Structure 1
Amino acid sequence: MCPRKGIEGETSSDHLASDLSPDPENAKVKANKTPQVLACVAAAFGTLSSGAVNGWSAGTLTSLDADPDITMGTAENAWMASIISVGSLAGSVVAGRVMDKLGRRTTLLAMAPLLLLGWLTMALAPNFAVVLTGRAVCGLATAFLFSTGPVYCSEIPEARMRGRLGSVPSLFITFGVVLSYFAGAFFSWRVSCYVCCAPVLMMFLAMLFAPETPYWLLLKGRREDAEKVLRRLRGPEYNFDDEIEEMERKMTSVGKKMEYRELWRPRTRKPFLISLFMMTLQQVSGGNVLMMYTGTIFLSAGVLNHKLATVYTGIVQIIFTVLCVLLVDHFGRRPFIVLSTSVMGASTIMLGVYYLMKDVVGVAWPSWVPLATVLVAVSGYCLGCRTLPWLLSAELFNTTIRSTANTASLFYNRLLNLIVIQVYPFFAEAAGAYTVFFVHGGLCLLCALGSLLLVPETKGKSLEQIQEFFEGQAAKKSAPDDVEKPSPVGEAAGTGRGNRGFQKDV
């Protein structure tokens, strides 16, 4: 698959970056940033809880192995790490419809008691089966949190802040993972469950004071409420008339009925395929293997203090995820994705070389080598692979299909996650850990090339501009060879700004 080029030789990604420049008038408007930041942080506590669920196995599998009441083996380790993906698969089937029916805010609030139930079930479990049941309940809740949090944080902020604030949920996933690492390193696995309950309560309390998104309110025909929310988020002096009219115009042009078949219509097909590619990239990179089997990987690699090494891994995750969040609106999405996958691929292959020398050749390298290699791999993963797939999945689609598309992407992501996490211990046992990491590293480098060629740059663009870009591409693709067909949306608006300057794809 290669990028389509116009007559002038530019890729579609370059067109999006050049033709859809931010509106200079909007750039001069001083909106109040604080309410937007607080609302996104409130929602992000949900993904912090999800991160704790995801990272819990990394710091506690060795503790579970030592518990006389819990019988653990290769299969049990695999299920303990991957069962949350089974719960997520079940939840992702309905997550989009639930958030469109109840609203983004209400969906987040409703997940707090469910996730709390999962953690308490695990903490009080008398045997392996009950621990697994609690993990599955937690996985079910994370499907809604993973799906709703990024959508909420893409619909709350103005365009110039959406890159940073849209990445906050992924940043908080990292915080949650690190919280579970610390809990596993310094407490027993049962006590760690109680520690990981804290973000659930924080999310519930914070979301009580957060508003619903203006996009969802408009979707339900509640313009007056949407105006109140925008006034609250942007400030009383901010003129949001153009912003809200643009939202309504786009909803009118695409309709308000949510259908899964919309994902394969010309105007939505390309962003949907890009979203699926990003989810594939995230899972095949091997980052989640390193996240969820951190302790056992360090133990098998001969790292002396695997619990302390796990804590180091968590600290590195925070540093590089913060860097990504702070810089993504300055440098753009695509450069971070390419850099992230390249670093991840090279360092994962290096980890495979270490295991090959240790297990096959019989040459023992110093124990700091696997530690350093994993830390570099994790830093690369957090620079983009962890964060940006969720951001792009939330911002590539129009408002009426956004939750549906996000749900479909989440289902695909969780299915891949289940396969990768479930297969890893058996694959490593049968073919050697070096084979596993060679495969992940090679796939990661291929994804770096694919990202360079295929991923569009959406930095500084409004959700409506991004949507008009893909609609314009779909319109011209169906036009005669010698006619440049304007976007129907552009015609309706009297501008066609999303498609001006585009040439027919060849």
Structure 2
Amino acid sequence: MSFRDENEDGRDLKKPFLHTGSWYRMGSRQSSVMGSSQVIRESSISVLACVLIVALGPIQFGFTCGYSSQTQSAITEDLALTVSEFSLFGSLANVGAMVGAIASGQIAEYIGRKGDVSFLYMGRLLEGFGVGIISYTVPVYIAEIAPQNLRGGLGSVNQLSVTIGILLAYVLGLFVNWRALAVLGILPCLALIPGLFFIPESPRWLAKMGKTEDFETSLQVLRGFDADISTEVNEIKRSVASSSRRATIQFSDLKQRRYWFPLMIGIGLLVLQQLTGTNAVLFYSSTIFETAGISSSNIATCGLGAVQVIATAVATWLVDKTGRRLLLIVSSCGMTLSLLVVSVSFFLKDFVSDDSTFYNVLSILSVVGVVSMIIAFSLAMGPIPWLIMSEILPVQIKGLAGSVATLANWFFSWLITMTANLLLTWSAGGTFFLYMLMCAFTVVFVTIWVPETKGKTLEEIQWSFR
């Protein structure tokens, strides 16, 4: 079905819109006209409630990322795994996520935005599959339900939830063994499943699927029963009508700037997010702290997780005030300088005695550098690539392009996770120097190519690429 300037009941989409959904008619009879501030408040509460429910998915995502850091010593000792075997275990979540990523875009398009050593490996693989789907559908769902003035902050809740999940894995790992920790890791998704029955479907997805009345009802619930949604309804319908005129996208169409440019930006940011090495730090932070000479490495890792949560919370407040592009530049510059400090510290430690004062100073510098890198990452490179991907991909190619972008992210996450332990064994200083070079390239990439999307509707962003 495609939308025209008039829909089935003859209503002109360019004229003021009167909602016909039964839910809204009931709500209208029961409520009086509210002031604009009350409408905004009702809208914010409705959307925030939906975001908090779906945010349980990224908590599961983060728990998966943080699990391997706190359990490395115990698992390798209990199951007599080598460094290579544990690296395989740590990276299997990414392999599963790649499979999930391939399916995620199409699943989201067709059903909506809301669904011994061998066993050890299989469990990690299946967990990753679910995480791969969550990593695409949650930021897209949040972007599609959020008002434009709140989209940046609410979109950043996705990454904030990931960091909370990582911190939970770190802290709980101090008190329970690796088997019990794995069981505790299922709790976020167990809470998410019933919560999904209480939130509306994405109105933009419903509009694309031709479910006109459901789409309008969903949007009215999200914006508040007495909010005037006519302008937003018409914008979405015109966008869907434009994309419906040609449902099939040919490979040759990707040569058009309106397609290849946002796809390049979305994939580029998600790939660079991984190549900067943050997952290597998060997955194997305990090992890194031990290499730096920190005796209580697990406690230090928990401190790192807490710092990441705080920095990401700050990012959710900043992103709609300062804009996406500026934060990305500041973030990638901060990561470059931090990794330079870490790299130089590890290089110099090879030339001094382990019991010297200078060695201790270098150990402190390396830890400060790692913490600074995580803070800088959390301010933008953590939350914003997922946010921008969900904002800029044209609706015609969103399912396929979103899958490709998410697949690229998880492939390079797997590559970094699989090679991090081996690279650290080769040279800690050299490993962080390689990551530093990728951070420096990220500064260039963002400065030249990434547009500012702050304060624009999704339809305005996608029209700008034409």
| Band the TM-score falls in, shorter-chain normalisation | 0.7 to 0.9
CA distance in 2, matches of 1:439, 1:201: 39
DSSP-derived class of the 1:159 partner: coil
Aligned to 2:293: 302
Q: Deviations over 1:253-301 (max 9, x none)?
A: 1227365735554311100001111012201111111111111111122
Structure 1 pair 322/264, CA: closer, same or farther in 2 (3 Å)?
Answer: farther
Structure 1 pair 38/260, CA: closer, same or farther in 2 (3 Å)?
Answer: farther
| 2:187 corresponds to 1:215 | no
1:221 shift after superposition = 0.7
Structure 1 pair 407/360, CA: closer, same or farther in 2 (3 Å)?
Answer: farther
1:455 shift after superposition = 1.1
| 2:334 corresponds to 1:323 | no
Structure 1 pair 57/161, CA: closer, same or farther in 2 (3 Å)?
Answer: same
Aligned to 1:416: 412
CA distance in 2, matches of 1:193, 1:245: 47
Contact 1:104 1:152 in 2 (8 A): yes
CA distance in 1, matches of 2:250, 2:175: 46
Aligned partner of 2:403 among 400, 404, 407: 407
Aligned partner of 2:48 among 17, 23, 37: 37
CA distance in 2, matches of 1:155, 1:258: 22
Across the two proteins, how many residue pairs are aligned to each other?
423
Contact 1:263 1:405 in 2 (8 A): no
Aligned partner of 1:228 among 214, 217, 226: 217
| 2:76 corresponds to 1:81 | no
In structure 2, runs of 5+ residues without a counterpart are 1-35
CA distance in 1, matches of 2:269, 2:327: 13
| 2:422 corresponds to 1:426 | yes
Superposed, which structure 2 residues align to 1:302-451 within 5 Å? 302-362=293-353, 364-366=359-361, 367-430=363-426, 432-451=427-446
Q: Deviations over 1:203-243 (max 9, x none)?
A: 11221211101011111111101111111111111111111
Contact 2:332 2:377 in 1 (8 A): yes
Q: Deviations over 1:339-365 (max 9, x none)?
A: 111111111121111211222454513
Structure 1 pair 270/421, CA: closer, same or farther in 2 (3 Å)?
Answer: same
Structure 1 pair 243/441, CA: closer, same or farther in 2 (3 Å)?
Answer: same
1:427 shift after superposition = 2.2
| 2:278 corresponds to 1:287 | yes
Superposed, which structure 2 residues align to 1:446-485 within 5 Å? 446-471=441-466
CA distance in 1, matches of 2:336, 2:194: 40
Contact 1:64 1:72 in 2 (8 A): yes
CA distance in 1, matches of 2:438, 2:168: 30
Aligned to 2:188: 199
Aligned to 2:28: none
Q: Deviations over 1:144-198 (max 9, x none)?
A: 1001001100101111111111111111111111111112222111111122121
User: Which stretch shifts more, 133-142 or 364-373?
Assistant: 364-373
| 2:244 corresponds to 1:244 | no
CA distance in 2, matches of 1:414, 1:258: 27
CA distance in 2, matches of 1:258, 1:330: 38
CA distance in 1, matches of 2:132, 2:308: 22
CA RMSD of aligned residues (A): 1.9
Contact 1:147 1:403 in 2 (8 A): no
| 2:143 corresponds to 1:154 | yes
Contact 2:167 2:306 in 1 (8 A): yes
Q: Once the two structures are aligned, what percentage of the paired residues are identical?
A: 29
Structure 1 pair 212/128, CA: closer, same or farther in 2 (3 Å)?
Answer: same
Aligned to 1:480: none
1:90 shift after superposition = 1.4
User: Which stretch shifts more, 352-361 or 328-337?
Assistant: 352-361
Q: What is the TM-score of this pair, normalised by structure 1?
A: 0.80
Q: Deviations over 1:422-447 (max 9, x none)?
A: 112222323x1100101111220221
Aligned to 2:119: 130
The amino acid that maps onto 1:91 is G
The amino acid that maps onto 2:210 is G
CA distance in 2, matches of 1:435, 1:302: 18
Aligned partner of 2:108 among 99, 104, 115: 99
Q: Deviations over 1:399-426 (max 9, x none)?
A: 3422322211001111111111111222
Contact 1:151 1:403 in 2 (8 A): no
Aligned to 1:123: none
1:65 shift after superposition = 2.5
Q: Deviations over 1:451-480 (max 9, x none)?
A: 122211000100010011001xxxxxxxxx
